[in-house]
Amino acid sequence: MPLIKSAFVLGVAVSYFAGFVSADFPDCVNGPLKTNGVCDTTLGAASRAKALIAELTSDEKIANLNNGAPGVSRLGLPSYQWWSEALHGVAGSPGVSFASSGNYSSATSFPQPIILGATFDDNLIHEVASVVSTEARAFNNVNRAGLDFWTPNINPFRDPRWGRGQETPGEDPFHLQSYVAQLIAGLQADADSPYRKVVSTCKHYAAYDQEGSGSTVRDVFNAIVTTQDLVEYYLPPFRTCAKDSKVGGFMCSYNEVNGVPSCANNYLLQTILRGHWGWNDTDKWVVSDCDAVSDVYNTHHYTATAAEAAADSLKAGTDLDCGTFYQSNLGTALSQGLIEDADLDRALTRLYGSLIKLGYFDNPANQPYRALGWSNVNTESSQHLAYTAAVSGIVLLKNDGVLPITSKDKKIALIGPWANATTQMQGNYAGVAPFLHSPLYAAQQLGLDISYTLGTDISSTDTSGFAAALAAGNGSDIIIFAGGIDNSIEAEGKDRSTITWPGNQLDLLSQLVALGKPVVVLQMGGGQVDDSSLLEGGASTVNALIWGGYPGQDGGTALFDIITGKQAPAGRLPITQYPADYVDQVPITNMSLRPGSGNPGRTYKWYSQTPVIEFGTGLHYTDFDLRWTAGTGKTSFNIQELIGASGTDWDTLEKKQFTTFHVSVTNTGHTASDYVALLFLKTTAGPTPAPIKSLVSYTRVHAISTRSSRTALLPVTLGSLARVDENGNTNIYPGEYSLELDVPNRLTFNFTLTGKTATLEEWPVATN
């Protein structure tokens, strides 16, 4: 693994990347480029890009097909670093440089996507993305970031062991589609805008959701995926990126998919992405994950020579190499006739066409984004949004009434490896935050009577801190234990082998519980751990349990504002919490979703056993009464009538409204609160086995005051009624259906679809 990739995986200091920062903008007024068509704003992006490329030699073309593009000094084309990161804020990466102090020394650090996903608030996601892109542009304007950001990670969180699950919004593909649509809109700005704000890059395409080890490490892994699973589960978020959101970039993944490395996979990159999904504009480009093109030859051994691997990847549609493999091997491929200059030109046209759409070559006076500066970074509203996002995503999993803690007279023992967490709260792919407010800091700011001690580290077996922890607990009225997992055991390049609480945290917890004091547990980290022993009847039964994920720069404040009742919890768990023995029942390398021999099923849609905590779980400090008020009048629908004049055009039918359900949400308790409405579809119509249920609509209703009602609007489309068959075709089937609201189910609407099975989308057959 090359140094740059290893260093990034291991979380090297942001300053490491200072030498990789992008160069200045091209000079279209006084420099050599001024007479080139690339500077002619009356031309289209493709024509401008081609005018530039026409002046390049073959060697210059090849040199500029890696992420650290050197430019062409004789033409006045500066170097450009394509690799910038912004998963949940402008982040340390080769293209991003933070100042050591003062201006541009930090950027707003939002919660990890797993917590953002738990908000089930698409408007919030758009707001967060808008702030991130504003700050990214500000950094770019002073040569401290690029314009292309390799985010989001939109692979569904299929297996609880995956170390990068924290980077995703959760396990449900419908949820991920809705999330990513708003995220890209916020990052790239309106499609009608003359300039993109930044370019977003959907990754990792496709079926990438494990880091692996040994013979199954991601660089050699072959993901065997059925067409049905690929279409129904692994690809929908990427389809939204391509067809609906017109994302500027895609990243192909390390792994093979059914025997073909993703970055050399003509079926994925051409037949599906650029063909079936129509993502074929001349400013749309694909980048490899770092050294994934090299892996085509060196680890997958897919080709006989390095030149063939480079040629296959370029011709399949991987335009940009994160690495130096293209630079080292495309020259040989060209001389051997494996590629032509036209192949180089096509890739460069896409890349420079994208930069043209970003205004890279144009007069800054005509571009509002070029006016953004340090005053637009870390604004008061941005800081408040980061706090709001954390509050909105925190999930209350258990409460016997001990929460909220409203009295400042209570003595609180704050114990555990997350109690004074700072950088831990950011998770991976983070930048330098303007501040990091730990739980301990937040408690102190509230004036609470706090006794703090570590007790134990995340994975420690050392019990020397137990005595101090038990003494603190003995002297308190309430014990708050902040623990769980962090990037020391879940991260890029690091899957978990177990999903139990690590180290001796449960041992300490059981001893704290034995003191007879109320115990509140803050379970932190992106992936779930088995909380069975903490719930009713468990060996270490606690009074309250909160999942806080990686809540970002103001995470401690958000947690304690919920603990003390300043804020009301309303987040929903975006993943399933499995029992510990799940990892013994199915290997992480088994990509099948449906239950079968050696596989109890994946995610809430297919898991055939009893989860510890269900997807969508989330408690409140109040109670809600729910009632249908519209959308439930008719109970039988003819499929052909529903389709009507739309024919079988999937793009139209997927979004065509079936109906919008209106739900009256009445706060019958004594605490104002948000409410997340989750609507699931159940049916046995279509291929077997059928999913247990599938999320088809959701919304977050804000600030429902006590004794008042608000209406939740839940639109359901025809696409949400459809199922995918073994050939990948999407069909609507006649049969009995039901819609269920909330987890556990609070309301049900039963209906029937009549008529003939209708195929809404025919899936292209793989030929390679």
Residue positions annotated with a catalytic role: 289
Helix/strand number for the chain, H first, E second = 23, 26
Q: At what angle do helices 466-474 and 505-513 cross, to 10 degrees?
A: 30
Q: Is 38 helix (H, G, I), strand (E, B) or coil?
A: helix
Q: Would the CA dihedral through 296, 298, 304, 310 be positive or negative? A: positive
CB 486 within 8 A of CB 440: no
How far is the CA of 723 from the CAs of 21, 229, 240, 518, 758, in angstroms?
46, 11, 17, 47, 11
Question: Directed axis angle between helix 555-563 and helix 380-393, to 10°?
Answer: 50
Tokens 């059928």, residue?
690
Please report, for residues 66, 239, 271, 412, the alpha-carbon distance to residue 287 in angstroms, rounded to integers and kept in the order given.
9, 17, 17, 51
**Whole-number Å distance between alpha carbons of 573 and 599:** 23
- E-assigned strands of 315-454? 395-399, 411-415, 449-453
DSSP three-state, residue 647? coil
CB atoms within 10 A of CB 345: 17
CA distance 328 to 429: 29
Cβ atoms 390, 111 nearer than 8 A: yes
Q: Shortest CA distance to 393 belongs to which of 552, 213, 535, 521?
A: 552
Q: How many CB atoms lie within 10 A of CB 246?
A: 17
Which residue shows structure tokens 């409410």?
Answer: 675
Helix (H, G, I), strand (E, B) or coil at 264: helix
Which bin fits 143, alpha (ψ -120 to 50), beta or left (φ > 0)? Answer: left
* Number of neighbouring beta carbons within 10 Å of residue 603: 24
Strands of the sheet with 148-149, listed across from one edge: 148-149, 199-205, 249-252, 285-288
Nearest-angstrom CA–CA distance, 117 and 441: 26
Q: 3-state class of 102 per DSSP?
A: coil
Neighbouring C-beta atoms of residue 103, cutoff 10 Å: 13
Distance (Å, rounded) from C-alpha 649 to C-alpha 42?
36
Token representation of residue 287 = 């980048």
Dist CA 312 CA 256 (whole Å): 14
Question: What whole-number distance in Å separates Cα of residue 511 and Cα of residue 500?
Answer: 18
Per-residue CA distances from 657 to 184, 402, 489, 721 (Å):
23, 44, 44, 11
Q: Which of 111, 83, 129 is nearest to 433 (CA)?
A: 111
| Sheet with 624-630, side-by-side order of all strands | 624-630, 657-667, 709-717
- Residues 339, 58 contacting (CB under 8 angstroms): no
DSSP string, 422-455: SGGGG-SS----S----HHHHHHHTT-EEEEE--
Beta carbons within 10 angstroms of residue 400's beta carbon: 12
DSSP 555-621: HHHHHHHHHTTSS------SS-B--TTHHHHS-TT----S-BTTB--SHHHH--S--SB-TT--B-S
